[in-house]
Amino acid sequence: MNGTETGDGPMEMLPRGEEMRFRLVHGIALAAVMLLALALRLYRLSDQSLWWDEFVAFGYLDSPDLASHLRFLRALFPEHGAAPLYYIIQYFAARWTGMSAETLRLLPVALAVSAVPLLYGFVRHLCGEKAGLLAALCLALSPQHIWYAQELRPYELVTPLAVISVWSFMRAYRGGSPVWWVVNLISNTLLGWTHLLTVFLILTEGLFLLLFSLRRFRRVVVWSAVQLLLLIPSAVSVRHMVSGNNYIGFRLPFLRFLLFILGGDVLPFHAEINPAWKEHGAAFAVFPRLVPLSYWMGWGLLAVFIGVSFWAFARLVLSWWQWPRTAEGGHAEWCRVENLTLLLLMLFVPGMAVVLLCLSCNSVIFTTYFMYSQMALYALVGTALMAVPGALPRRGAIVAVVGLYMFQLLVFLPEVTRANWKGAAAYIRNNASTQDEVIDIEYFYTDRELKFYLSPQWPVRLVETLQAACDDSARILQSIPAHAPDGVSKRVWIVVQPFYLNLATENHFDCVTALLQAFQDRGLRPSIKEFPGQNGIIVCSVERCGIDVRGIGMPVMQIEPGVNGFSGILPPPIDYGAVLDELGFQSDVQGDRHKMLAALRESVDHWPLDEKFPGCARFNCIAPILDLVCRGHADLAGATARHLIAQHPDYGLLHMALGIALLKEQQNPAAREAFAAAGKLNGDLGLILAPFLDALSRNDNFAAACDEARKLERSGFWYAPALRAACGSDGASTSPVCIPPSTLLRDGPTNISGNACW
């Protein structure tokens, strides 16, 4: 297992002619693997909709300059802004290719394909030509790498950088040119600026040096010192990120993470590439007979990875045991010890470090954060397959592993895996009349996917709860006569992703049943269309059914208390009266309690707000506050904001939400104080809001402030519509405000214009 092995014998033992032929054959094979990787990553690329995580940076690509782009990113998602390399590259790529999602996705595709020859070269250096080809083939067939190669996120930039890092590290360690040390240090620095948790790959290399360079301790010290020096700017970004960190977090069972370390490519263990319907929903599958087998075939592939890991560990122990016997054989065995140690460290150290981080900090952690460690697994798979004795058994083992991968691809590839916003929007466009209205139930109060893909002739009203969607639909349809002529008939289209409710209850909450029952209780006729994919999408059309609309305010089915696998016991249904008391509204002195209860029911579907569902983010807490503001209940919004600030006093966005609520109540001095506190805690947010606050401070000039809010909206700032709702020209709007949507997505599949209701 060293750089001269070919799988059949040392390369230097081959005659020159045979060596050239050998190189040519393997070059053609590598080109074929690269073409296969490219074809799989381009397959249905244009069918994949943008989803929420991609909009994190995509929405700000129209910023006037790079500094503004990064400022918006850091203000709302400091964990992304602390490692902005991919987003910087994407920003300039958008200027070259245009801002179409399809063309921008060619960037991660190109990065992903570039990792294939790099992995081949790295494994070839350690384990031989044929092992390198097999490792490259595993990467080409990897479902998770195909999935992320079609996503506007940094993971596929991490992969080639990680391979370059460990390849240059081993070349330098084994006495190569000092240039290799430079390449290693530069690639590690770029990794730190691409994703924060790649620091664990650097830790892996440091552990290897400690194990094998004790006699050259100076090398360890110099390498570590230079690496730390190069990462200081990234560390400073992380320090500034702490107070703005969004994530509250959740815990997963320790053994489950251990399986994830080896099972990133296994569909049943990767929820993003294998939504629940791909495992159980045969009715939606192109090959329905394969669905029942996917679980067991996934376990079969996982068994291969576990077996390969045990084989590598056993061979490491054996090589260590056999090393001292002869000088010549000792050198070969020692090289094998080094190679296996590096690969096993690379495979397990990043994943275990992420697990420990999750358990100690209760942080939101996903297996994609250490996806680069799978390169070591592919190297071990290739090496283990080439170590199978006998040509026929070896070929059989290779066919079996490739067959398991191909089976997964037959389940994974044929259908759209991401949230199918394109399909949902097309369904509405093809079936809705121009008089119909669209309601989007979203849980962050910032989603833009539906508006991005839907024609501008249908304004999208954003609501926060099932209750609000049902009651608003009833109010809209209540004004339509029960037996109106054809030209007056009207429907309301409700769009919801049930994932966020199902996550907390492990799919025990039936969103479809809840919607059907709620609309039937209100005397309306609902019709449901489901669009499977990541997080899932439900489109429900509602119309009058010849009787009076009734039941507005009737509670919608709630999540029942019980046990889930993430956070233990679910709380009982919300006691909205107790919530009002907790917020300080113990009597009707400060307002109509009945109206306040109705307002809470339409804006708040979980309490406490920072315990919405496992893995929730703190910016989720802001959504109900802004919803209350825009629905005309600024007093409740302000009380809720103060309640949350008492628990999270260092979170700048909450102070901004309080400022918006106070501004809506026309408490302008207090609002400015809240905005100032937000800017102090979140410097980038302060810079973003500075022009707005400057306009507001000039004699409380609401018109000028509204103009600045419009500019922020055109830049893609999530909360600009709420700013406008709070300081409209009359200073006191009392209902969801119609505002023109952002034009930053002008080059998308539809030209967004007209009005959108917030």
Q: Structural domain boundaries of the chain?
A: 11-48+105-412, 419-557, 597-758
Helices (runs of H) and strands (runs of E) counted in the chain = 34, 9
Between 615 and 543, the higher pLDDT residue: 543
pLDDT tens for 413-422 read: 888 888 889 9
Which whole number is the average pLDDT over 450-463?
Answer: 88
Q: H-helix or E-strand containing 344?
A: helix 327-361
Q: What is the mean pLDDT of residues 465-482?
A: 86
**C-alpha angle 119-87-92 in degrees, rounded to nearest 5:** 100
pLDDT of residue 472: 93
The residue among 132 and 175 whose pLDDT is bigger is 132
Report the chain's mean pLDDT, rounded to a whole number: 81
Whether the predicted pLDDT of 236 surpasses 80: no
Q: What is the number of residues in the chain?
A: 758
pLDDT attached to residue 623? 86
Task: Give the span between the Cα atoms of 311 and 316, in whole angstroms.
Answer: 8
Q: What is the mean pLDDT of residues 372-399?
A: 95
- Within 8 A by CB and 6+ apart from 690, the residues are 679
Question: Lowest mean pLDDT: which of 225-229, 697-701, 724-728?
Answer: 697-701
How many other β-carbons are positioned within 10 Å of the β-carbon of residue 215?
A: 7
Rounded mean pLDDT, 42-63: 87
Report which of 195, 193, 183 is spatially closest to residue 226, judged by C-alpha positions. 183
Lowest-pLDDT range of 124-128, 339-343, 545-549, 728-732: 728-732
User: Taking the model in full, what pTM does it have?
Assistant: 0.87
Q: Which has more confidence, 69 or 324? A: 69
pLDDT of 88 reads 95
Tokens of 737: 């405000």
CB 135 within 8 A of CB 33: no
> Residue 750 has what DSSP assignment?
S
At residue 633, the 3 state secondary structure works out as coil
> Does residue 732 surpass a pLDDT of 60?
no
pLDDT at 7 over 70: no
Percent of the chain whose predicted confidence (pLDDT) is above 70: 79
When pLDDT is averaged across residues 260-271 and rounded to a whole number, the result is 82
Cα 514 to chain centroid distance, Å, stands at 28
Query: Is residue 614 within 8 Å of residue 250, measured between CB atoms?
Result: yes
Confidence of residue 714 (pLDDT cuts 50, 70, 90): confident
When pLDDT is cut at 50, 70 and 90, the band that residue 202 belongs to is very high
Task: Give dist(CA 344, CA 169) in Å, integer.
Answer: 15
Give mean pLDDT, residues 344-359: 86
Least confident of 87-91, 170-174, 270-274, 423-427: 270-274
728/716 Cα distance (integer angstroms): 19
Higher pLDDT, 277 or 182: 182
Is residue 580's pLDDT more than 50? yes
Q: What is the pLDDT of residue 191?
A: 94
Let me know: does 61 contact 742? Beta carbons within 8 Å.
Answer: no
Q: What is the spatial distance between Cα 164 and Cα 190, in angstroms, rounded to a whole number?
A: 11
Q: Please work out, in degrees rounded to the nearest 5, the angle formed at the alpha carbon of residue 522 by the alpha carbons of 520 and 528.
A: 40
